[in-house]
Structure 1
């Protein structure tokens, strides 16, 4: 699934989702499967919104391919198709590939500049990846 609008001026999950979508995903990523009512009750702790709004947003997340919906009796259970880590990994990979396709050398240059602000473990992982890529060539 590809998120179509990445919001640079937001933070966290709000970069990929609307505010209510992000709250719903945050709840669902911390549980196994939930009904709309379960999610709405969790949101009610924050006095967020009503059942019909939650239902609409959750069904749109199903249509976008982010949630899976299955019937159980008279209820429907929802769960994310990916874990939070899988989702973030897939989205960051997609964004990186798109940036590389469009801006190539500039992106690599900025990524290298950003390495000054990261920990040594990340730099070591990058060095290992570069060695692996060179061996494959």
Structure 2
């Protein structure tokens, strides 16, 4: 999976944060609070995100409502999987990753592993 570009990430961030479908106009208006961006630019990038399978869209009147297909967490997990794929030794890469984690993150990882084990046992 390729990392999202800057504007792609900004658009997805808003849609993930809002947790509801939104129009291009809503995204543009929010982006323009921090920096100028043209409606047509956001519309083009949103259409690209839809074509790539990142967004679903549903027609509401004359506008499209966009909704993320994946959660922010699923995106982050896919990036981590890609990072592991870059190593010839996935175990060593995992060890380096875990060594850089805080105690709270390690505890969360342990809990996640226990949850996966419980699911596997059915």
The normalised TM-score by structure 2 is 0.76
Q: Name the residue aligned to 2:49.
A: 61
Using the TM superposition, give the Cα deviation of residue 112 of structure 1 relative to its aligned residue in structure 2, in angstroms.
Answer: 1.8
CA RMSD of aligned residues (A): 2.5
Q: Name the residue aligned to 1:75.
A: 63
Query: What are the superposed Cα offsets for residues 21-51 of structure 1, whole Å, 9 maximum, x if unpaired?
Result: 1111111111101111110000110123110
Aligned mate of 2:101, from 118, 123, 130: 118
Question: Larger RCO: Structure 1 or Structure 2 (Cα < 8 Å, ≥ 6 residues apart)?
Answer: 2
Unpaired runs of 5+ residues, structure 2, are: none
Give the length in aligned residue pairs: 112
Aligned mate of 1:52, from 12, 34, 40: 40
Unpaired runs of 5+ residues, structure 1, are: 5-15
The normalised TM-score by structure 1 is 0.68
> 3-state DSSP class of the match of 1:62?
helix
Q: Name the residue aligned to 1:38.
A: 26
> 3-state DSSP class of the match of 1:29?
helix
User: CA, structure 1 residues 113+20, in 2 after alignment: closer, same or farther (shift >3 Å)?
Assistant: closer
> 3-state DSSP class of the match of 1:17?
coil
